[in-house]
Amino acid sequence: MFKRMTVLCILLLFSAAGYAQNDSRDFNGYRWYDDGISFTYPLSVAEDAIARFTPATADTPEEVKVIFQNYHNDEGWLDTGAEISVIPASSLRSDISYFSNLLADFANGIEEAQQQLINPTPGMTSVVAQVAPLDFQTGSGVRFVLEMQDRQGASNISYRFIGMTADDGYLISAIFPFTAMEFKDIAVSDAQSLDILTASDFTPDLTTLDALIGTLSVTPPATMILTTQANGDVSYGGIAFAYDPTLAYRVEVDAVEPITGAEAEQSMFGATPGYTLFSFVGYPTDNIGHQPQMFVMPVSEFPAEDQPYGLRLGELQNFLAAKPELHSRSATSNPDDALPILPILNAAQTIVSQPEYLRFGSGEGVRYIAYYSQSAEPLTANDLFYVYTGLSDDGQYVVSAIFPLFAGFLPQGRTVYEIADIDQFMMNYRTYLDGVLLQINVMDSSAYSPNIQLLDALVASITVH
């Protein structure tokens, strides 16, 4: 009899969704280490949530869509149909004030505004009910129930939310399919029938979904740097670099504040330095676990060596001063041989392959291909990362980069592995890792997406002044 082992690597700092408490999860996505998009959702609504980025086209705006999923034994992770969309106002065809006015008219029951915002499918009749204003953490909007009916009388019902951030920077749209208690009275319209229902007559109930939307926060980057297909040069705050335009069509920059004092006491890694964060929008690999990012951290921001970040800084400084011989390694090696990485990750450096010392424009560091894990699981095509950690020549800045890689030679996607004896697999896990490491070691840079040479060139171009 085969046992099923679900491969779902929950890396607290890598994953789109992390546990908040037994019956709910916190989603912290899109710009990963910064606020970006965040909310809390109950497990009664979905078991997981992932972010998918869609670049703008001639006909559609740029969009980050958070997709809710549940796990099915035979088919793996499947979309539930529930989603939250975040669309930058700058990507919309119409001025954001147009949507602001429509939302106001919608809340006041003006049918024309409702139809424009709903944009019903041709041949379908729409019924709007349970309209109510609803605030979220960084904005406000309108919640409503939408019933769609086709010509044959078949219908579906869903919870909807449309809103905007308070700074008019983003349009928010949410859809949650649900069911309603049958309560049709031929003496009243469908809208009246739906309006008579209480919050608990819907599944999930309205109160639960309102509370979910109420936790939503959308935080814009400090700066957005637009690039073109012909020019991948970036310059910001004394930091400059160049990248191949196939790696991104925009770079977002955030100034992340340090964590100190009472907040640091509650943090897993204590006090943390402030830093400048570069996020690459339109990166070619759809890795839901980690956004492609680069970090520049002033050494003066690091805490003392009795704190984890201070200790890691000292280790990096000593490592680059000694420049020990580099070699590939897996979990069979001494954990003390782990190569430097900042920011600190809540996961073990399980595999290191193809490590090299690499200079950037104003300093030096080490780059390698890595796999980080918290448990014994088979690797998939989306589990490897390009990692770079270095110091500027004047010792004043830590420069690091973490880019997800797609390795097509490994099994693809979130897979349910059929393993005859899980205990045996665990016992032989180190042998399994050594076998995977041999595969990775012999692959050249073009075996990955993106090509590792493009990432090396990006790192080599970095200057910090």
How much is the pLDDT for 341?
92
Q: Which helix (H) or strand (E) holds 76?
A: strand 76-88
CA separation for the pair 149, 234 (Å, rounded): 50
Instruction: Map out the domains of the chain as residue ranges.
Output: 3-30+35-218, 223-464
- Identify the three-state secondary structure at position 61: coil
Are residues 328 and 304 in contact, defined by beta-carbon separation less than 8 angstroms?
Answer: no
How much is the pLDDT for 222?
66
Mention every residue, 6+ apart, whose C-beta is less than 8 A from residue 180: 145, 157, 194, 197, 201, 202, 203
How much is the pLDDT for 418?
55
> What tens digit of pLDDT does each residue of 246-293 get?
898 788 888 888 888 888 788 788 888 999 999 888 888 765 557 899
Query: φ, ψ for residue 111 (rounded to 5)?
Result: -60, -35
Share in percent of the chain as helix, strand, coil (round to 5): 20, 40, 35
| Residues forming a β-bridge with 259 | 272
| Residues forming a β-bridge with 84 | 66, 174
Low-confidence residues in the chain, pLDDT < 50: 1-21, 32-34, 183-188, 228-230, 414-416
Query: φ, ψ for residue 365 (rounded to 5)?
Result: -160, -165
Unique residue bearing structure tokens 């599944």: 203
Nearest alpha-carbon partner for 350 in 324, 368, 326, 323:
368
Q: What is the dihedral of CA 148, 52, 213, 277, to 10 degrees?
A: -160
Query: φ, ψ for residue 203 (rounded to 5)?
Result: -130, 115
Unique residue bearing structure tokens 């954001």: 96
How much is the pLDDT for 302?
94
DSSP 334: -
Are residues 7 and 418 in contact, defined by beta-carbon separation less than 8 angstroms?
Answer: no
Q: Which helix (H) or strand (E) holds 355?
A: strand 348-360
Which residue type sits at 126? Answer: S
* DSSP one-letter string for 285-306: ---TT---EEEEEEGGGS--TT
| Residue 433: other Cβ atoms inside 10 A | 21
Name the packing angle between helices 111-118 and 96-107 (round to 10°).
130
CA separation for the pair 72, 434 (Å, rounded): 31
CA separation for the pair 216, 137 (Å, rounded): 6
Query: φ, ψ for residue 380 (rounded to 5)?
Result: -120, 175
- Identify the three-state secondary structure at position 191: helix
Nearest alpha-carbon partner for 39 in 97, 100, 82, 103:
82
Nearest alpha-carbon partner for 361 in 277, 275, 465:
465
Preceding amide of 204 cis, omega within 30? yes
Q: Characterize 240-279 residue by residue with b for buried, 16 or more Cβ atoms within 10 angstroms of its Cβ, and e for exposed.
A: bbbbeeebbbbbbbbebebbbeeebeeeebbbbbbbbbbb
How much is the pLDDT for 334?
60
- For the record, the structure tokens of 252 come out as 């977002």
CA separation for the pair 410, 413 (Å, rounded): 9
